[in-house]
């Protein structure tokens, strides 16, 4: 790591930040003026401006959720809702401003590119500033843009699908995002097109008290396949940051979408995200969701199975260290016959951290022969930590088959004894066991993420035992 960089807290690997450098910054707080300003600044069509203002009203009228984590320390009036770091977009790596390039170097974008990953769209602050889409994508007719460009270049497509999966009325934070969104990705995969390599976007927050409200829309047309990967690291600040994204995915007949997230925000960030996919006939949606960072995460990736034989899978890992609360889980709504879903959740609490699994499986009347399986395993590593499991199952169809299982336990004494008797130190042994515990999910991650995940767990664990 660059020795010139200030390290506010050396226990956090990515805890560096660069001097702020903005072309445009809205005032603190959110009101009609700020929303209109954001919309005007982006030169958006009239319907989007109206949509933002309507959403603002919904956000202001909805109360904070009474369940989940503690949200009362968020000061909505203290947040900058829009920042724009540079005045134009760049298409090649060399054109990026040096300090932004430096930041990306630390989280490894050039390496990602060297590995010929199919497309990189990195988000620095509220705007995508760096983008390199390989000619392969364009040739196949795949659209991979930041959301603002998507709205400009494909207004009809965006208008047709935007907010159809997650309307602003859905919840307070979806409304907030709908009012203040900027950035995020817009992906359209045409009929029958299969993208072999994952699409990647890197996200980063770099201003104190700055909220990020990405809006991602992925449309996978009939018979297509895409794997979208989102990874984030963020620097540490003394005041709390808010991150509230909305991700909408439409999986058409026979298509398959996999969406992988590794969330590693610094531990002062509120991460309140709504992610949902609508899956049509014989489509498959897979969420792979890793939550390691943030102060509080409330995130329940959902699948709405609306077509016959649609399938949804949610794999979730949560890790909560000191002062962290991971309230994660998943939702599967079965609205058509022969739909299947599976939710697998693994959580680890350490040093006073709290993990909660919160989930819903709903089998609606008419969803004949629907099947769902939920498995939640939690590890509690010490006496001061906490683990909760709050599943809900609602069944209105006789033919449905539904199972839920959850276990909470500590690291097995026998396992520890076995490793220690072979000369492995306690800390090392514990981290090996924890890595083994999350293995079933880690093996679903792209290689570089799997390696980073294992390293992070190791770092956290071996630092934890003294």
Partner 1 sequence: MKKIIQPKTIVVEIPEGESSYDYSVVGNGDLVLVFVAAGFHTASVYVRIRLQERFARAAIIGLVIGDKASTITIRTLQEHVAPDTTSDLLIKTVLSDHASCLYDGGIRVERCAQKTDAYQRNENMLLSGHAHAESKPSLEIFANDVRCTHGATVGPIPEEQLLYLSTRGIAHKNAQQLIVAGFLSHALEKISDLAVKNLVSDKIMYLVGQV
Q: Are strands 127-133 and 119-124 parallel, antiparallel or unpaired?
A: antiparallel
Asked whether the beta carbons of 406 and 391 are under 8 A apart, the reply is: yes
Return all residues near 335 (Cβ < 8 A) that are at least 6 apart.
304, 305, 306, 364, 366, 367
20/397 with CB nearer partner 1: 397
Q: Which stretch binds partner 1 (CB under 8 A): 103-111, 201-209, 402-410, 422-430?
A: 402-410
Closest by alpha carbon to 358, among 337, 369, 343, 379? 343
Number of residues that bind partner 1 (CB under 8 A): 33
> Pick from 391, 444, 453, 461: which binds partner 1 (CB under 8 A)?
391
Return all residues near 418 (Cβ < 8 A) that are at least 6 apart.
none
The two tokens of residue 143 are 């659209």
**Minimum distance from CB of 358 to partner 1 (Å)?**
9
**Minimum distance from CB of 363 to partner 1 (Å)?**
8
Q: Is 351 an interacting residue with respect to partner 1 (CB under 8 A)? A: no
Q: Is 383 an interacting residue with respect to partner 1 (CB under 8 A)? A: yes
**Minimum distance from CB of 434 to partner 1 (Å)?**
14
> Pick from 87, 95, 105, 382: which binds partner 1 (CB under 8 A)?
382
Asked whether the beta carbons of 380 and 387 are under 8 A apart, the reply is: yes
115/410 with CB nearer partner 1: 410
34/400 with CB nearer partner 1: 400
Q: Is 403 an interacting residue with respect to partner 1 (CB under 8 A)? A: yes
Q: Is 70 an interacting residue with respect to partner 1 (CB under 8 A)? A: no
| DSSP-assigned states of every residue in 14-78 | T---PPP--SEEPPBS--HHHHHHHHHHTT--HHHHHHHHHHHHHHHHSPPPSSSS--TT--GGG
Return all residues near 9 (Cβ < 8 A) that are at least 6 apart.
15, 236
Q: Is 339 an interacting residue with respect to partner 1 (CB under 8 A)? A: no
Place of tokens 């369940």: 67
x-or-dash string of contact with partner 1, 179-208, rule CB under 8 A: ------------------------------
Asked whether the beta carbons of 239 and 270 are under 8 A apart, the reply is: no
42/404 with CB nearer partner 1: 404
Q: Which stretch binds partner 1 (CB under 8 A): 138-146, 166-174, 322-330, 384-392?
A: 384-392
- The residues that touch partner 1, with contacts defined as CB under 8 A, are 363, 365, 378, 380-383, 385-410
């Amino acid at each position: 790591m660059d020795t010139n960089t200030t390290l506010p807290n050396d226990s956090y690997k990515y805890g560096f930040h660069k001097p702020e450098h903005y072309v445009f910054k809205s005032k603190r707080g959110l009101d009609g003026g700020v929303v209109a300003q954001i919309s005007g600044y982006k030169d958006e069509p009239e319907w989007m401006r109206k949509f933002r203002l309507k959403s603002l009203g919904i956000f202001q009228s909805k109360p904070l959720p009474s369940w989940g984590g503690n949200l009362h320390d968020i000061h909505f009036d203290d947040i900058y809702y829009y920042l724009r770091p540079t005045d134009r977009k760049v298409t090649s790596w060399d054109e990026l401003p040096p300090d932004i390039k430096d930041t990306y170097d630390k989280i490894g974008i050039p390496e990602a590119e060297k590995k010929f990953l199919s497309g990189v769209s990195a988000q620095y602050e509220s705007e995508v500033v760096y983008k390199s889409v390989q000619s392969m994508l364009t040739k196949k007719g795949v659209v991979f843009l930041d959301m603002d460009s998507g709205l400009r270049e494909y207004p009809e497509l965006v208008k047709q699908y935007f907010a159809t999966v997650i309307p602003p009325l859905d919840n307070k934070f979806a409304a907030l995002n709908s009012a203040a969104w900027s950035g995020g990705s817009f992906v359209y995969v045409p009929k029958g097109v299969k993208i072999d390599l994952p699409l990647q976007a890197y996200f980063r927050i770099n201003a104190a008290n700055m909220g990020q409200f990405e809006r991602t829309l992925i449309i996978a047309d009939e018979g297509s396949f895409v794997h979208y990967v989102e990874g984030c690291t963020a620097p540490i600040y003394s005041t709390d940051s808010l991150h509230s994204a909305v991700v909408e995915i439409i999986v058409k007949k026979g298509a398959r979408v996999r969406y992988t997230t590794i969330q590693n925000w610094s531990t002062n960030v509120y991460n309140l995200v709504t992610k949902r996919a609508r899956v049509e006939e014989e489509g498959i949606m897979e969420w792979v969701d890793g939550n390691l960072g943030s102060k509080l995460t409330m995130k329940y990736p959902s699948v709405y199975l609306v077509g016959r034989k649609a399938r949804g899978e949610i794999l979730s890992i949560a890790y909560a260290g000191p002062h962290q609360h991971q309230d994660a889980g998943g939702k599967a709504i079965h609205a058509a016959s022969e739909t299947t879903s599976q939710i697998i959740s693994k959580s680890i609490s350490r040093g006073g951290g709290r993990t909660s699994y919160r989930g819903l499986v709903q089998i609606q009347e008419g969803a004949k022969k629907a099947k769902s399986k939920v498995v939640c395993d939690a590890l509690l590593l010490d006496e001061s930590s906490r683990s909760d499991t709050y599943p809900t199952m609602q069944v209105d169809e006789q033919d449905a088959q539904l199972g839920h299982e959850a276990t909470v336990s500590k690291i097995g004494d026998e396992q520890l004894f076995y490793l220690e008797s072979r000369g492995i130190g306690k800390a090392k042994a514990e981290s090996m066991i924890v890595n083994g515990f999350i293995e079933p999910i880690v093996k679903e991650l792209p290689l570089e993420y799997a390696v980073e995940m294992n390293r992070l767990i190791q770092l956290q664990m071996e630092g934890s035992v003294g």
